[in-house]
Structure 1
Amino acid sequence: MTDTLSSAPVDRDGLPEVIRRYLTVHNAGDASASAALMTPNAQVTDDGKTYDGLPAIEQWLNRAASEYTYTTTYVGAAEVAPDRWTVTQRLDGNFPGNTIELRYDFTLEDGLIRRLVIAP
Protein backbone atom coordinates (compact mmCIF):
# COMPACT_ATOMS: atom_id res chain seq x y z
CA MET A 1 0.00 0.00 0.00
CA THR A 2 1.06 3.58 -0.56
CA ASP A 3 2.48 5.39 2.45
CA THR A 4 0.11 8.08 3.72
CA LEU A 5 2.95 10.48 4.45
CA SER A 6 3.52 10.97 0.71
CA SER A 7 -0.02 12.31 0.23
CA ALA A 8 -1.54 15.58 1.38
CA PRO A 9 -3.09 15.23 4.85
CA VAL A 10 -6.88 15.43 5.11
CA ASP A 11 -8.92 16.28 8.18
CA ARG A 12 -11.91 14.08 9.03
CA ASP A 13 -14.38 16.49 7.40
CA GLY A 14 -12.43 16.23 4.14
CA LEU A 15 -13.00 12.48 3.82
CA PRO A 16 -15.62 11.09 1.44
CA GLU A 17 -19.00 10.82 3.17
CA VAL A 18 -19.07 7.01 2.99
CA ILE A 19 -15.78 6.79 4.91
CA ARG A 20 -16.91 9.31 7.55
CA ARG A 21 -20.15 7.35 8.01
CA TYR A 22 -18.26 4.03 8.18
CA LEU A 23 -15.89 5.33 10.87
CA THR A 24 -18.82 6.64 12.91
CA VAL A 25 -20.97 3.49 12.78
CA HIS A 26 -18.03 1.09 13.03
CA ASN A 27 -16.67 2.90 16.10
CA ALA A 28 -20.19 2.64 17.60
CA GLY A 29 -20.15 -1.13 17.01
CA ASP A 30 -23.05 -1.10 14.53
CA ALA A 31 -22.22 -4.07 12.27
CA SER A 32 -25.29 -3.88 10.02
CA ALA A 33 -24.87 -0.13 9.39
CA SER A 34 -21.15 -0.69 8.66
CA ALA A 35 -21.89 -3.49 6.18
CA ALA A 36 -24.55 -1.37 4.47
CA LEU A 37 -21.79 1.01 3.37
CA MET A 38 -20.00 -1.73 1.39
CA THR A 39 -20.48 -3.14 -2.08
CA PRO A 40 -22.06 -6.62 -2.31
CA ASN A 41 -18.67 -8.06 -3.35
CA ALA A 42 -16.64 -6.13 -0.76
CA GLN A 43 -13.52 -7.53 0.83
CA VAL A 44 -12.05 -6.73 4.26
CA THR A 45 -8.63 -7.75 5.53
CA ASP A 46 -8.01 -7.38 9.27
CA ASP A 47 -5.49 -9.04 11.55
CA GLY A 48 -4.11 -11.02 8.60
CA LYS A 49 -7.47 -12.58 7.69
CA THR A 50 -9.56 -11.71 4.62
CA TYR A 51 -13.35 -11.69 4.61
CA ASP A 52 -15.08 -11.85 1.21
CA GLY A 53 -18.67 -10.71 0.68
CA LEU A 54 -21.20 -9.13 3.00
CA PRO A 55 -22.15 -12.24 5.05
CA ALA A 56 -18.51 -12.89 6.02
CA ILE A 57 -17.91 -9.17 6.64
CA GLU A 58 -20.98 -8.90 8.90
CA GLN A 59 -19.73 -11.88 10.95
CA TRP A 60 -16.33 -10.20 11.28
CA LEU A 61 -17.95 -6.89 12.27
CA ASN A 62 -20.13 -8.57 14.92
CA ARG A 63 -17.15 -10.44 16.36
CA ALA A 64 -14.96 -7.33 16.33
CA ALA A 65 -17.64 -5.28 18.10
CA SER A 66 -18.05 -7.81 20.92
CA GLU A 67 -14.47 -8.98 21.42
CA TYR A 68 -12.97 -5.87 23.07
CA THR A 69 -14.03 -2.52 24.47
CA TYR A 70 -12.09 0.43 23.08
CA THR A 71 -12.22 4.07 22.12
CA THR A 72 -10.86 5.51 18.90
CA THR A 73 -9.08 8.76 18.17
CA TYR A 74 -8.78 10.06 14.62
CA VAL A 75 -5.08 10.67 13.93
CA GLY A 76 -5.16 11.66 10.26
CA ALA A 77 -5.90 10.67 6.69
CA ALA A 78 -4.68 11.08 3.15
CA GLU A 79 -6.08 10.68 -0.34
CA VAL A 80 -3.92 8.12 -2.12
CA ALA A 81 -5.90 8.20 -5.41
CA PRO A 82 -9.41 9.42 -6.33
CA ASP A 83 -10.85 6.09 -5.16
CA ARG A 84 -8.29 5.26 -2.41
CA TRP A 85 -8.00 6.78 1.03
CA THR A 86 -5.96 5.93 4.10
CA VAL A 87 -7.17 6.79 7.60
CA THR A 88 -5.11 6.36 10.77
CA GLN A 89 -6.83 5.92 14.13
CA ARG A 90 -5.50 5.24 17.61
CA LEU A 91 -7.39 2.61 19.60
CA ASP A 92 -7.20 2.53 23.40
CA GLY A 93 -8.90 -0.38 25.15
CA ASN A 94 -8.85 -3.71 26.93
CA PHE A 95 -7.01 -5.65 24.22
CA PRO A 96 -3.39 -6.87 24.49
CA GLY A 97 -1.10 -3.83 24.56
CA ASN A 98 -4.02 -1.49 25.41
CA THR A 99 -3.09 1.02 22.67
CA ILE A 100 -2.47 0.62 18.96
CA GLU A 101 -2.41 2.86 15.95
CA LEU A 102 -4.18 1.27 12.97
CA ARG A 103 -4.22 2.21 9.32
CA TYR A 104 -7.45 1.75 7.38
CA ASP A 105 -6.87 1.56 3.63
CA PHE A 106 -10.18 2.15 1.81
CA THR A 107 -10.89 1.49 -1.87
CA LEU A 108 -14.18 3.00 -3.02
CA GLU A 109 -16.47 1.98 -5.88
CA ASP A 110 -19.74 3.66 -6.86
CA GLY A 111 -19.90 5.61 -3.59
CA LEU A 112 -19.44 2.52 -1.41
CA ILE A 113 -16.49 0.70 0.16
CA ARG A 114 -15.17 -2.03 -2.15
CA ARG A 115 -12.10 -3.00 -0.13
CA LEU A 116 -10.81 -2.25 3.35
CA VAL A 117 -7.44 -3.31 4.71
CA ILE A 118 -6.77 -2.69 8.41
CA ALA A 119 -3.19 -3.01 9.64
CA PRO A 120 -0.82 -1.51 12.21
Structure 2
Amino acid sequence: MTTQTSVLAPAIEAYISAANARDSSAVASFFAEDANVFDEGHHRVGTLAIAQWMDETARKYQPRVEVLDVAQRTGKVLVKQLVSGTFPGGSVELRYVFRLNEQGKIARLDISL
Protein backbone atom coordinates (compact mmCIF):
# COMPACT_ATOMS: atom_id res chain seq x y z
CA MET A 1 0.00 0.00 0.00
CA THR A 2 1.37 3.37 -0.98
CA THR A 3 0.79 6.30 1.33
CA GLN A 4 0.80 9.80 -0.13
CA THR A 5 3.32 12.31 1.20
CA SER A 6 0.41 14.64 2.06
CA VAL A 7 0.09 12.82 5.40
CA LEU A 8 3.64 13.86 6.26
CA ALA A 9 4.61 16.85 8.37
CA PRO A 10 5.49 19.83 6.14
CA ALA A 11 9.23 19.68 6.98
CA ILE A 12 9.42 15.98 6.07
CA GLU A 13 7.49 16.41 2.84
CA ALA A 14 9.69 19.41 1.91
CA TYR A 15 12.84 17.45 2.81
CA ILE A 16 11.85 14.61 0.47
CA SER A 17 11.09 17.04 -2.39
CA ALA A 18 14.36 18.94 -1.90
CA ALA A 19 16.35 15.69 -1.60
CA ASN A 20 14.87 14.44 -4.88
CA ALA A 21 15.81 17.79 -6.46
CA ARG A 22 19.30 17.39 -4.94
CA ASP A 23 19.04 20.85 -3.40
CA SER A 24 21.31 20.51 -0.35
CA SER A 25 20.80 24.05 0.93
CA ALA A 26 17.01 23.61 0.83
CA VAL A 27 17.35 20.21 2.53
CA ALA A 28 19.38 21.73 5.37
CA SER A 29 16.78 24.47 5.89
CA PHE A 30 14.21 21.89 7.04
CA PHE A 31 16.49 20.72 9.87
CA ALA A 32 16.97 22.33 13.27
CA GLU A 33 20.36 24.06 13.71
CA ASP A 34 21.56 21.26 16.05
CA ALA A 35 19.90 18.38 14.16
CA ASN A 36 21.43 14.91 13.95
CA VAL A 37 21.53 12.59 10.94
CA PHE A 38 22.60 8.97 11.18
CA ASP A 39 23.26 7.30 7.80
CA GLU A 40 25.66 4.61 6.52
CA GLY A 41 27.33 4.38 9.93
CA HIS A 42 28.08 8.11 10.08
CA HIS A 43 26.71 10.73 12.46
CA ARG A 44 26.34 14.31 11.29
CA VAL A 45 25.39 17.25 13.51
CA GLY A 46 24.16 20.67 12.40
CA THR A 47 22.82 22.09 9.18
CA LEU A 48 26.25 22.64 7.58
CA ALA A 49 27.23 18.99 8.08
CA ILE A 50 23.80 17.90 6.85
CA ALA A 51 24.14 19.99 3.67
CA GLN A 52 27.60 18.45 3.08
CA TRP A 53 26.12 14.96 3.62
CA MET A 54 23.41 15.74 1.05
CA ASP A 55 26.00 16.96 -1.47
CA GLU A 56 28.16 13.84 -0.96
CA THR A 57 25.17 11.51 -1.23
CA ALA A 58 23.88 13.22 -4.38
CA ARG A 59 27.30 13.09 -6.02
CA LYS A 60 27.93 9.48 -5.06
CA TYR A 61 24.51 7.88 -5.69
CA GLN A 62 22.20 10.34 -7.53
CA PRO A 63 19.40 9.04 -5.27
CA ARG A 64 15.69 9.39 -5.86
CA VAL A 65 13.26 8.44 -3.10
CA GLU A 66 9.66 7.31 -3.30
CA VAL A 67 7.50 7.05 -0.17
CA LEU A 68 6.04 3.55 0.23
CA ASP A 69 4.51 3.76 3.70
CA VAL A 70 4.19 6.15 6.63
CA ALA A 71 3.59 5.24 10.28
CA GLN A 72 3.26 7.62 13.22
CA ARG A 73 4.72 6.63 16.59
CA THR A 74 5.00 8.67 19.76
CA GLY A 75 7.52 11.36 18.89
CA LYS A 76 8.54 9.68 15.62
CA VAL A 77 7.47 9.45 12.01
CA LEU A 78 8.57 6.23 10.30
CA VAL A 79 8.77 6.42 6.53
CA LYS A 80 9.55 3.40 4.38
CA GLN A 81 11.05 4.59 1.10
CA LEU A 82 12.23 3.02 -2.10
CA VAL A 83 15.57 4.61 -2.89
CA SER A 84 16.96 4.23 -6.40
CA GLY A 85 20.28 5.48 -7.67
CA THR A 86 23.75 4.63 -8.91
CA PHE A 87 24.69 2.08 -6.26
CA PRO A 88 24.96 -1.73 -6.41
CA GLY A 89 21.52 -3.20 -7.05
CA GLY A 90 20.08 0.12 -8.24
CA SER A 91 17.33 0.28 -5.61
CA VAL A 92 16.72 -0.54 -1.98
CA GLU A 93 13.95 -0.09 0.57
CA LEU A 94 15.15 2.02 3.48
CA ARG A 95 13.51 3.06 6.74
CA TYR A 96 13.70 6.74 7.63
CA VAL A 97 12.86 7.63 11.22
CA PHE A 98 12.20 11.34 11.68
CA ARG A 99 11.87 13.25 14.95
CA LEU A 100 10.61 16.82 14.82
CA ASN A 101 11.24 19.62 17.29
CA GLU A 102 8.55 21.91 18.71
CA GLN A 103 9.02 24.32 15.78
CA GLY A 104 8.24 21.55 13.30
CA LYS A 105 11.81 21.22 12.01
CA ILE A 106 13.60 17.88 11.71
CA ALA A 107 15.62 17.35 14.88
CA ARG A 108 16.86 13.85 14.06
CA LEU A 109 16.88 11.50 11.08
CA ASP A 110 17.95 7.86 11.26
CA ILE A 111 18.27 5.96 7.96
CA SER A 112 18.57 2.17 8.02
CA LEU A 113 17.77 -0.98 6.09
Q: TM-score, normalised by structure 2?
A: 0.90
Q: Report the CA distance between 1:116 and its aligned residue.
A: 0.3
Aligned residue number for residue 45 of structure 2: 52
Of residues 47, 66, 77, the one that matches 1:73 is 66
What CA deviation, in whole Å up to 9, does each residue of 1:10-46 have, x standing for no partner? Answer: 5421111111111110111110000000111000000
* Alignment correspondent of 2:91: 99
1-structure distance, mates of 2:45, 2:28: 12
CA distance in structure 2 between the partners assigned to 1:94 and 1:26 by the alignment: 15
Q: Can you give the 5+ residue segments of structure 2 that lack an aligned partner in the other structure?
A: none
C-alpha distance in structure 2 between counterparts of 1:93 and 1:111, whole Å = 29
Is the alpha carbon distance of 1:42 and 1:33 closer, same or farther for their aligned partners in structure 2, counting shifts above 3 Å?
same
Deviations 1:56-82 (A, max 9, x none): 11111111111122432221111112x
Q: What is the TM-score with the length of structure 1 in the denominator?
A: 0.85
Same amino acid, percent of matched pairs: 34
Residue 6 of structure 1 corresponds to none
Q: Specify the alignment match of 1:34 in structure 2.
A: 27
Q: Distance in 2 between matches of 1:72 and 1:53?
A: 23
The Cα RMSD (Å) is 1.5
Q: Does 1:17 align with 2:16?
A: no
* Match of residue 108, structure 1, among 100, 103, 106: 100
Say how many residue pairs are matched: 111
Q: Does 1:86 pair with 2:70?
A: no
Residues 43 and 50 of structure 1 are in contact (CA less than 8 Å); yes or no, is this contact kept in structure 2?
Answer: yes
Q: Which structure 1 segments of 5+ residues have no match? A: 1-8
